[in-house]
Amino acid sequence: MANVANKIGVLGAGQLGRMLAQSGAPLGKEFGFYGVSENEPAAQLGHAFFASKETKSLGDLVTFSDVITYESENTDVALVREIAKTTPVYPAEKSLYMSQHRGREKGLFDQLNIPCAPYQIVDSLESLQQAVEEIGLPAVLKTTTEGYDGKGQFVLKESTQIEQAWAEIGGKELVLEGFIDFQRELSMIAVRNANNEHVYYPLVQNVHHEGILRYTIAPARQVSEALQQQAEGYMQGLLDALDHVGVLTLELFDTLDGLVANEMAPRVHNSGHWTQDGAVTDQFENHVRAITGMPLGDTSVCQPLAAMINIIGKTGPVEKVQNMPNVFLHLYGKEERPNRKLGHINIVADSEEALFETFKALSDFLP
């Protein structure tokens, strides 16, 4: 990747692709998107190639692109392997393969001595019963592939729920994870380029409601230098083991015994949206820099504090946001639908008091 690439193809045309284009355009980058309809958030911002029974539109995207990336860890590995024969794809196949299967992902954590929940792969009611006996309850049963925002999961609290859990999400390979006693949920976004430069954003705190991320505070409060270094150590191990190029996100549980890995995503991430207005270089620009052969940007926080609130289901009274100082509205151009991410609001603040005053004023957008 000695030459800088200027035409970026994105597999997907949702809000992540849209925000990649918004951050990449000032760097002189052009974007093409492989989506399913002209109504998708990214379709208005670049060349759109629509998925159909014909492969021609995908071929057009590959012809257009100097480099290709993707919006989702559920992207078809075989498709990425085929494209990579002629056009570089970043992050590469290994990152995608490991992160789209919870069993493989946890195996990688084990290999790198990154603590994670005890787990067992199950594929029948009998193997689930056996796993419950060995791991104990409470535990979380999850699909090994796909599943996001709380979908494809069942929290097992009592053994009487085992048959119900299997009936609801079984019939396929699942993973049973032991319950982690944690104080809060954190995440870290890291970036690596092909020259093996690494940069790390500060640990952030994430608050979920009904399985969906509702808000993020950056940096997380009361994070010691040792905790930040522990997270960066985990990230460096993952980036190097995967030979990862681009953004990598790691979700973590903060426990009394230190950080425990939950899952990773080989892409720009909802918990990094605050960087658009709260960091010197946002996660989208740094992903573009990494995959196109540019030096990585500064990940410092601009103000003492930043935050992001997701707009879920209904757009809400966004007109009030437009008149508030230090508050930034990002809408995705999507139709309202229950539990759908329609946009987000970023906040910057010079104190905790100012941040929480702003949160109070934006209570219409919080659960």
The mean pLDDT of the chain is 94
d(CA 104, CA 111): 10
CATH 3.30.470.20-classified regions of the chain: 184-365
Residue 331's H or E segment, with its range, is: strand 327-331
Give the integer Cα–Cα distance in Å for 153 and 211.
9
pLDDT digits (tens, 9 = 90+) for 307-326: 999 999 999 999 999 999 99
Q: What pTM, to 2 d.p., does this model score?
A: 0.94
Strand partners, 301: 279
Low-confidence ranges of the chain (pLDDT < 70): 1-2, 50-55, 147-150
Cite the residue boundaries of each domain of the chain with CATH code 3.40.50.20: 7-89
pLDDT, tens only, 230-273: 999 999 999 999 999 999 999 999 999 999 999 999 999 999 99
CATH 3.30.1490.20 segments of the chain? 118-178
How far is C-alpha 256 from the chain's CA centre?
Answer: 25
Structure tokens at 168: 């609801």
- Let me know the angle formed at the C-alpha of 354 by 209 and 313, rounded to the nearest 5 degrees: 30
Q: What is the pLDDT of residue 149?
A: 62
CB burial string 115-147: b at 16+ within 10 A, e below: bbbebbbbeeeebbeebbeebebebbbbbbbeb
- The whole-number pLDDT of residue 45 equals 81
Kindly report the CATH number that applies to the domain delimited by 7-89: 3.40.50.20
Please write the tens of the pLDDT for every residue from 195-236: 999 999 999 999 999 889 999 999 999 999 999 999 999 999
> What is the Cα–Cα distance from 163 to 243, expressed in whole angstroms?
41
E-strand stretches of 55-203:
67-70, 119-122, 139-143, 153-156, 174-178, 184-192, 198-200
Per-residue pLDDT at 1: 43
> Residue 314 corresponds to which tokens in the numbers above?
């209904």
Q: Which fold has domain 118-178?
A: Dna Ligase; domain 1 (3.30.1490)
Give me the pLDDT at residue 3, please.
74
CA atoms of 257 and 83, how far apart (whole Å): 43
Angle CA 285–283–298, to nearest 5: 75
pLDDT recorded at residue 48: 80
Return the structure tokens found at 234. 């985990």
Max CA distance (Å), the chain: 60
Residues 184-365, CATH architecture: 2-Layer Sandwich (3.30)
Could you tell me if 299 and 201 are in contact, meaning their C-beta atoms sit under 8 angstroms apart? yes
